[in-house]
Amino acid sequence: MEPLLRDTYAEINLDNIGYNVRKLKEIVGKDVSIAAVVKANAYGHGAVAIAPTIMENGADMLAVATLTEALELRNYYSDYKIFIMGYTPDEYLEYVVKNNITQTIFSLRQAVLINDLSIKYNTISKVHIKYDTGMNRIGYKDSQESIDEIVKIFNLKNIDVEGIFSHLALTNREEDDKQYERFLNAVGKIEEKEKTFKYKHICDSISAIDYPEYRLTMIRPGAIIYGMKSYEDDSVIMKTALKFKTKIYQIKELQPGEGVSYGYRWKATKKTSVGTLPMGYADGYPRIRDSFVTIHGKKAQIIGVINMDQCMVDLTDIPEAKVGDEVIIYGDGTDNTIDIQGMADLLNTNKNEILCRLSRRTPRVYIKGGKVVKVLNYLLQE
């Protein structure tokens, strides 16, 4: 096992990820497939390291946003089904075909290119059609012209049009219903031409829970796999998979009037115990003024400007704190810890952004059965 080499790290509980995938499979049932979204390095959790846990607990494929994310997974897992939900430029489609990756397309032109490459490599390539029902991102615009072109793609001999999908803007139920109906209408018109899809999908984590009638034949859960809750149904409880930790590595006693960090934006008004932590915004922690960490189950306010590599906390009310003590930066919201949602609320953003901020210099430590089973230091990878 690799040495940790840093006191600041993200701890990922593989048992909790496995539980979340199994729970989700139980909710959606055996007739609905799961494309587990592991883009953005599995929302900071480490896509390569957690992929087996996800697949072994009920996912049918791994979904990513980019070709490079797909190739990273393919380098480790030759037999996993990998699906690129985003756009791949024409000049790189050869990598898709050669590596047996399922590609999203939204033009006949790209379908022809993939078909020609598939003939070259003597294979059949799977594709999913992206159909834009109102997100106005990528995908075929909702029209009869688009439907006619999609039907033509089915005639390409070395293409398997395995799926069709859309994405909800999640504005409100009325708008979501409109998008869903547009999607069903388009799929119906295509299927009237005796063209069928194995996978029809429009649900992400939120809609997969709150709109069970939208599940169709596949869902694309992301945040929920990692224990993040944005859906409204309080009866569905998932387990937080990630904690962000560090340790105290120096303690100083400051006198009234002494300042901390750049610009002395914080000054002691009384005798104050200050702890320094080897954690900063280069590790993915937001450069925020009003936040706290947890030490011995007590809140320790961050004081002064957060540095790139370090920050300081007020330990005055935690007299038992000593050098080397564990610090919970993000927890699960219990025992006076701030969770990912709490930090997102402070920044007026969403949980996914907070998770994606975790940088590659922050090691990942994987826990299974209460024991460390893997340490991943990206900076030491060849």
- Give the other-Cβ count within 10 Å of 117's Cβ: 18
Look up residue 60 and give its DSSP letter.
S
Q: Find the angle CA(170)-CA(54)-CA(200) to the nearest 5 degrees.
A: 45
Distance CA 110, CA 116 (A): 10
Task: Name, in order, each residue with C-beta under 8 angstroms of 270's C-beta and a sequence gap of 6 or more.
Answer: 256, 316
Given the residues 76, 92, 121, 262, select the one marked as catalytic. 262
Tokens of 217: 């034949």
173 is in an annotated binding site: no
Strands 266-267 and 259-260: antiparallel
Tokens of 233: 């149904």
Please give the order of strands across the beta sheet that includes 364-368: 250-254, 272-277, 311-314, 298-303, 292-295, 326-330, 242-247, 9-13, 364-368, 371-376
Helices and strands of the chain, counted as H and E runs? 11, 21
Look up residue 6 and give its DSSP letter.
-
- What's residue 173's pLDDT? 96
Which domains, from first to last, does the chain contain? 14-225 (3.20.20.10), 242-380 (2.40.37.10)
- Per-10-residue mean pLDDT for the chain, 382 residues long? 94 98 97 98 98 98 98 98 98 98 98 98 98 97 98 98 98 97 98 97 97 98 96 94 98 98 97 98 93 98 98 98 98 97 95 96 97 96 76
Q: Find the angle CA(333)-CA(366)-CA(332) to the nearest 5 degrees.
A: 5
Distance CA 81, CA 7 (A): 36
**DSSP string spanning 179-208?**
HHHHHHHHHHHHHTTT---SEEEEE-HHHH
Q: Is 262 a catalytic residue?
A: yes
Distance CA 353, CA 335 (A): 24
Q: Is 281 a catalytic residue?
A: no
Q: From residue 183, give the alpha-carbon distance in Å to each of 178, 208, 362.
A: 9, 16, 41
Instruction: List the beta bridge partners of residue 253.
Output: 273
User: What pTM value is reported for the model?
Assistant: 0.96
137 is in an annotated binding site: yes
- What's residue 324's pLDDT? 98
Given the residues 39, 243, 245, 247, select the one marked as catalytic. 39
